[in-house]
Amino acid sequence: MGRAEGERAPARRYAIADAATLDSRVGSTPVEVPPPGGSAALDETLDRAATSTPSGGEVFHPGAWIGRYTILAKIGEGGMGAVFSAYDTELERRVAIKVLRPRASGDPLGHARMQREAQALARLSHPNVVQIHDVGWLGGQLFVAMEFVTGPTLRAWQREHDPRTSAGREAILAMYAQAGAGLAAAHARGLVHRDFKPDNVLVGDDGRARVLDFGLAAGTRVSAADEGEGGGASEGESGGGVRVRVAGLLDSDLTRTGSIMGTPAYMAPEQFLARRTDARADVFAFAAALYEALYAELPFAGETFAERQAEVIDGAVKPAPVGSAIPAWLRAVLLRGIERDPERRYPDIDALLAALADDPIARRRRRLRVAAALLVTTAVIVGVVIGGISLAQRWRAARAEAMAEERRLAVEARIDELLAAGAAAEAERAFQAYVTNPDNRGSAALARAWLSHGERARSREATDAALDAYASAYTVATASAEQIAAMVGLAELARDQLRWRGLVFAVEALEERFPEDLGRPEIRDLRLDAALARVDLEAAERILATADRGAGDDVRSVIAALRGAQHTPYTRCTNSAYRLRGRD
């Protein structure tokens, strides 16, 4: 054996074994691959491969050389071209090579655009974006070398996860969050996908989502419109069920009518109207794809291109399917994502992902669980210290409190869902059912339920309802924490409504019953406002003397103004003081 042959033997054995593995997956014939390095035999092979064309004019075929790549097997084919597995002899790794068909490569402007975007994408390194390694031309055909990924498309993956279950819904949201992170990374580089859909995302065997085809097909011409619901590139699958899919340019066609590009199932209105698009078109497509994953149907009706176009442009979103388990807050996020007006959508993918992660019901439950745990623990500790109550009685009291708090958490979450869905009357019925339940009587949870009710009423400026709720909370409260919160709520409500006598009354009650809490910032502010309402400047100055340094700077100018306005009528003076403090 000569020297060159001996040098090639180890790498040749590696390449044959590598190709044989591929053969078990896609049924191709193993191809012997020359090694990397500077051998004369390799250089001669590369030169010959770069200048030769096999019979029939086919440049790309198993065994052919494309620069430093040798073609192993064809593993996918579609309207735009073919996909090959190949071996990179310099970096000793398998890659995928996408080759555009001659008819798809006949657009010179498309050539330049595709090459430019492929080169830009090659400079983007992100775990949720398919890596582009190389782009070039051979035999008048554009090819792109890219990361080779095994695993299903996102569309195939999501079929295995039921959105009707919490676990399935959380898994879908988590996987789409990965895909969204890839989109956001590309947008940060100025790359807009223009054809995001579940078929353009791969879920690798490592569980990682990778987005592919960032605008790379947008410059190609297509002879027929794609009016399907997705489609995607072909997959190779062996008898053993191992899926092999290329991470690169999809071989599915894009719709192109004039300058309209995209897949109709996920296209934004501005794409249908052939208007200028930006990253918000990807926001629309992402939200539409996630809507489909969660509801098992697309958000817009229409069986033909024209029907779908009309529905999308009109913003005619279908109602949620009967019996859907998707929470109202999540539907609201999706609907904003597919707004027909780009200005009303989320401004970017990051904002959409943040909204998807911000589950208000889960957030409230976490906060209330922590508060409930602290309150129940405190109640148990206090109960142990206080004598005269048997251990069984203390246990029953703590358990009754815990159960009342658990029921409150459940009804609060239900009320949030109903209000988000616009069912205010049903939400009110759910609240009344809780506060009239005799099992909740005497619990701290009952007072907290009234406090929450007051906060909701106050947020929608229902003054009378808020007043009634805070008063009820104070009446049923069994501990000072809830009593203080209720009285503070009444005082703040009176102040907001410029009801000075009510404010003074509430503050005097706080000062009389809870003297040890007068230093709390919210109570100190209320006492200051009450003193100003009474034009009791000495009292206001005494309160200021107990405040932290700098805390009363905004009030001192008010006091100075009031000292020069002692003869101003009461109502006008107090209203002016309130305005001077900047509270209206």
pLDDT tens digit string along 431-479? Answer: 999 989 988 888 888 998 999 998 898 888 888 888 888 888 888 888 8
DSSP 266: G
Dihedral of alpha carbons 327, 333, 337, 342, sign: positive
Q: Catalytic annotation on 195?
A: yes
Residue 217: its pLDDT value, please?
37
Confidence of residue 558 (pLDDT cuts 50, 70, 90): low
Nearest-angstrom CA–CA distance, 271 and 197: 15
Of 30-44, 275-289, 471-485, 533-547, least confident by mean pLDDT is 30-44
Nearest-angstrom CA–CA distance, 454 and 124: 51
Q: What percent of the chain is modeled with pLDDT above 70?
A: 65
Q: Mapped to the 3 state alphabet, what secondary structure does 162-219 carry?
A: CCCCHHHHHHHHHHHHHHHHHHHHHHHCCCCCCCCCHHHEEECCCCCEEECCCCCCCC
DSSP 328: H
Dihedral of alpha carbons 35, 36, 38, 43, sign: positive
Bridge partners of 470?
A: none
Residue 516: its pLDDT value, please?
80
Residue 237: its pLDDT value, please?
33
DSSP secondary structure string for all residues of 20-87: HHHHHHH-PPP---PPSS--HHHHHHHHHHHH---GGG--S-TT-EETTEEEEEEEEE-SSEEEEEEE
Q: Name the amino acid, one letter, at 476.
A: V
Bridge partners of 88?
A: 69, 93
Nearest-angstrom CA–CA distance, 308 and 302: 4
**Minimal CA–CA distance to 75: which of 22, 34, 154, 151?**
22
Count helices and strands (H / E) in the chain.
21, 12
Confidence of residue 208 (pLDDT cuts 50, 70, 90): very high
Q: How many CB atoms lie within 10 A of CB 563?
A: 10
**17, two tokens:** 């074994």
**127, two tokens:** 């775990």
Q: Which residues of 269-295 are buried (b: 16+ CB within 10 A; e: fewer)?
A: bbbbeeeebebbbbbbbbbbbbbbbbb
The rounded radius of gyration (Å) of the Cα atoms in the chain is: 34
Nearest-angstrom CA–CA distance, 567 and 96: 87
Distances (CA, A) of 15 to 19, 20, 45: 6, 8, 16
Answer yes or no: are the C-beta atoms of 198 and 289 closer than 8 Å: yes
Catalytic residue, chosen from 18, 134, 195, 199, is 195
CB contact set of 242 (below 8 Å; sequence gap of 6+): 24, 25, 150
Chain centre distance of CA 497: 39
Bridge partners of 65?
A: 70
Task: Tell me the residue ranges of DSSP E strands in 230-385.
Answer: 236-237, 243-246, 255-257, 260-262
Confidence of residue 282 (pLDDT cuts 50, 70, 90): very high
- 302-348 per-position pLDDT tens digit: 888 889 899 999 998 999 888 888 888 899 999 999 999 999 999 99
Same fold, 3-149 and 154-357: no
Answer yes or no: are the C-beta atoms of 152 and 180 closer than 8 Å: no
Q: Which of 30-44, 342-356, 492-506 has the highest mean pLDDT?
A: 342-356
Looking at CATH, the fold of the domain delimited by 154-357 is given as: Transferase(Phosphotransferase); domain 1 (1.10.510)
Residue 129: its pLDDT value, please?
92
Q: How many CB atoms lie within 10 A of CB 41?
A: 15
Nearest-angstrom CA–CA distance, 91 and 77: 26
Distances (CA, A) of 180 to 221, 271, 526: 28, 20, 46
More confident residue, 484 or 121: 484
Listed by start position, the domains of the chain span 3-149, 154-357, 360-478, 487-584
Chain centre distance of CA 351: 7
Q: Which residues of 401-436 are buried (b: 16+ CB within 10 A; e: fewer)?
A: bbebbebbbebbbbbbbbbbbeeeeebeebbeebbe
Nearest-angstrom CA–CA distance, 582 and 84: 69
Residue 218: its pLDDT value, please?
40
Nearest-angstrom CA–CA distance, 332 and 94: 44
Residue 580: its pLDDT value, please?
44
Instruction: Using DSSP, state whether 237 is helix, strand or coil.
Output: strand
Answer yes or no: are the C-beta atoms of 85 and 94 closer than 8 Å: yes
Nearest-angstrom CA–CA distance, 354 and 140: 45
- 373-405 per-position pLDDT tens digit: 555 555 555 554 555 455 566 667 777 888 888
* Domain 3-149, CATH: 3.30.200.20
Residue 136: its pLDDT value, please?
83
DSSP secondary structure string for all residues of 369-432: HHHHHHHHHHHHHHHHHS-SS-HHHHHHHHHHHHHHHHHHHHHHHHHHHHHHTT-HHHHHHHHH
